[in-house]
């Protein structure tokens, strides 16, 4: 993950009295219809339950951007109608 610039390592002294969150790996086994393991998944997650309010986040200003499914459907219909090309690749 360091190669892709997902995070950068900083010394503990750079925290200057702020809280440093730890992390943990979450492992999951994906099963097929027969109950056999066909894939192992792993992800690194921050232990956010250790956060103190107003230290690294403002609980009064937290928002989660959400799009209603009908709005998304309307967007896709518009894109399809204009025949835009996929430029993500």
Domain boundaries defined on the chain: 19-54
Q: How far apart are CA 20 and CA 12, in angstroms?
A: 8
Strongest mean pLDDT among 7-11, 17-21, 65-69, 73-77: 73-77
pLDDT one-digit tens code per residue, 35-70: 999 999 988 887 766 667 776 667 777 666 778 888
Query: Residue 18's pLDDT is what?
Result: 73
Average pLDDT for 73-79: 83
Q: What is the DSSP track for the chain?
A: -TTTTS-----GGGGTT-----EEEEEEEEE-TTS-EEEEEEEEEE-GGGPPTTTS--TTS-------HHHHHHHHHHHHHHTPPP---
Query: Residue 1's pLDDT is what?
Result: 64
pTM above 0.85, yes or no: no
């Amino acid at each position: 993950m360091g190669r892709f610039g997902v995070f950068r390592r900083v010394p503990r002294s750079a925290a200057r009295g702020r809280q440093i969150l730890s992390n943990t790996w979450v492992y999951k086994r994906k099963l097929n219809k027969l109950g056999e393991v066909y894939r192992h998944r792993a992800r690194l997650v921050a232990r956010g339950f250790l956060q103190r309010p107003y230290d690294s986040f403002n609980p009064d200003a937290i928002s989660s951007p959400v799009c209603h499914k009908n709005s998304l459907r309307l967007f896709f219909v518009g894109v399809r109608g204009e025949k835009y090309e996929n430029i993500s690749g």
